[in-house]
Amino acid sequence: MDRKLTLRILFWALVGLQILPFWVVANVPTTDGPSHVYNAWILREHGNAVDHPLLSQYYQIDRTPLPNWLSHAALALLMELFAPATAEKILVSGYVVLFLAGARSLAGAVDPDRSWLALLAFPLVFNRAFQLGFYNFCLSLGFFLLALGFWWRRRGSPGPGLAVGINLILWLCWFAHAVSTVLALVGIGVLWLCTLRRATWKRHLLHVAILAPQAVLPLWFVISHAAPPVPSQSQAGSLWRYFFRMEVLHTFSGGQIVLGASLAALFLLLVVLTLISRGGRRAEPGPVLREEDGFLLLAVLAFVLYCAAPEGLAGGSLLKMRLSLYPWLILLPWLAPRLPERLPGCLAATARAVMVAVLALVAAGNAGAHARWWRSADREVRTFLAATRGIEPGTRVLPILYDRRPSIGRMGILDHAFARAATEKGLVDWSNYEASTDLFPVRLRPSAPRINGYVLAALPESLNVRAYRDQIDYVFAWKVPPGSPLARRLRRSYVLVSEEGPARLYESVARVRSRLPTVRE
């Protein structure tokens, strides 16, 4: 069989393996994923006053061109045909295909024979951002990769094809996440400068005109969402350690630190081999620096940005964690490792075959490890959701998680898991953090009560539940100690109606009294 065809078949087979873990669980156990599904459901049902009258009473839809629209709109459309949990699995499966297809497209942008290097991107699929449920950001990574690869391939003919294609990719990227869009524009700008030549400057000016529309939405967003940056508290040593051990992959097992450090070492080895092979060919005619070296420069700049960036910007958070992914991905098209030419050609082919085999095994093993962990995590989520069965559909509920620590892994798989029950039962979930910000399509109406999200997550003991008793039909209390001050306050305004494991369900006194028979004289 042809080598290229074999590599193509292997690549797509491995893509299928990365998708498999989503389909062996009832719910994809991410942190914010349930909240995105819930708000997408609100987006779909907002105008349905017959079945869900409370939604329009408490929520409104922000139709401005915000980032974070893409996953919500896609989920809402998918829910027309599929159950919410299935719609979520289709969305995240699409993310895997988009991300890895983008990596393959970028890896082969300079030389199609280097597309096998996209195998380096497989361990990055299940990164910390994905496990946190940052679906929009993860989708934007795929568009970022596609944008750089697409522009590079078509940079020599800046006509209608490039204009339509690159603007479509970048607009989709924008509606996923602003960070990837801005970095894609900066990246194309750096590559544009690295490929600028005296003979091509007129053609290069066309690229400026083609990409000019992409500046409008980022400028609008910065002006309309101006907020002081959140400074980083990380020291230089911890930043370097996080980056060069690829701790962005560490979500549930210490073995992932080994995987990340090994992958980073492999990247750096390939960089060294590429530099050595370039040095060995310096005697050949031609410039010392090539156009493709713009990718190396861009990767270095992305690393500098990771080190210098604040921790939060324009309302977004965990910026350094997100930025730690880009330098590695940008290196893919630049890598051109070659063994010394004095070695037999068969040895070079064997070395590449071994590397392909090792990377394929790592990709398959990583997918299998996630499938096993997710099945354990999913059992915990299902136990949690089973305790919500006594909640009446179409009511208003405040979930209080006194202890959010997962029993397995490092991630908060229960933090927003209640949103799954809210979606299934058509509830108003007062822990809906997205609706309290101006970063997502669904927002609370100005007249709706706002429960401090920080207090709810970090200081539940200080919650004044009595102040909201007219707006709360049920309180779902998870691991709230029975003798705690919070439990005593709950008993004053609510009635304990069920208890299951560490969960207690309280119903408002007014609702309980409304069901009591009326005594007539």
Token pair for 168: 């479509």
Give me the pLDDT at residue 363, please. 97
Residue with tokens 């997408």: 40
The 10 Å Cβ neighbour count of residue 400 is 24
Q: Are 117 and 103 in contact (CB under 8 A)?
A: no
d(CA 365, CA 17): 10
Give me the pLDDT at residue 288, please. 61
41-93: pLDDT as tens digits: 999 999 898 999 999 999 999 999 999 999 999 999 999 999 999 999 999 99
Which ranges of the chain have pLDDT less than 50? Answer: 519, 521
Q: Are 52 and 427 in contact (CB under 8 A)?
A: no
Give me the pLDDT at residue 322, please. 96
264-306: pLDDT as tens digits: 999 999 999 999 887 655 555 555 678 899 999 999 999 999 9
d(CA 147, CA 178): 14
d(CA 96, CA 126): 9
* pTM for the structure as a whole: 0.94
Buried b (16+ CB within 10 A) or exposed e, 342-380: eeeeeeeeeebeebbeebbebbbebbebbbebbeebbeb
Q: For the chain, how long is the longest CA-to-CA vector?
A: 108
Q: How large is the angle between the packed helices 135-154 and 178-194, nearest 10 degrees?
A: 20
Q: How large is the angle between the packed helices 84-107 and 3-19, nearest 10 degrees?
A: 150
Grouping H, G, I as helix, E, B as strand and the rest as coil, residue 408 is coil
Token pair for 35: 């909240």
Distances (CA, A) of 260 to 243, 256, 320: 9, 6, 16
Q: In what order do the strands lie in the sheet with 494-500?
A: 428-429, 396-401, 474-478, 503-508, 494-500
Return the bridge partners of 442, or none: 61
Return the bridge partners of 499, or none: 504
Domain boundaries in the chain? 29-63+371-521, 64-338
Give me the pLDDT at residue 267, please. 97
Residue type, 38: Y
110-135: pLDDT as tens digits: 999 999 999 999 999 999 999 999 99
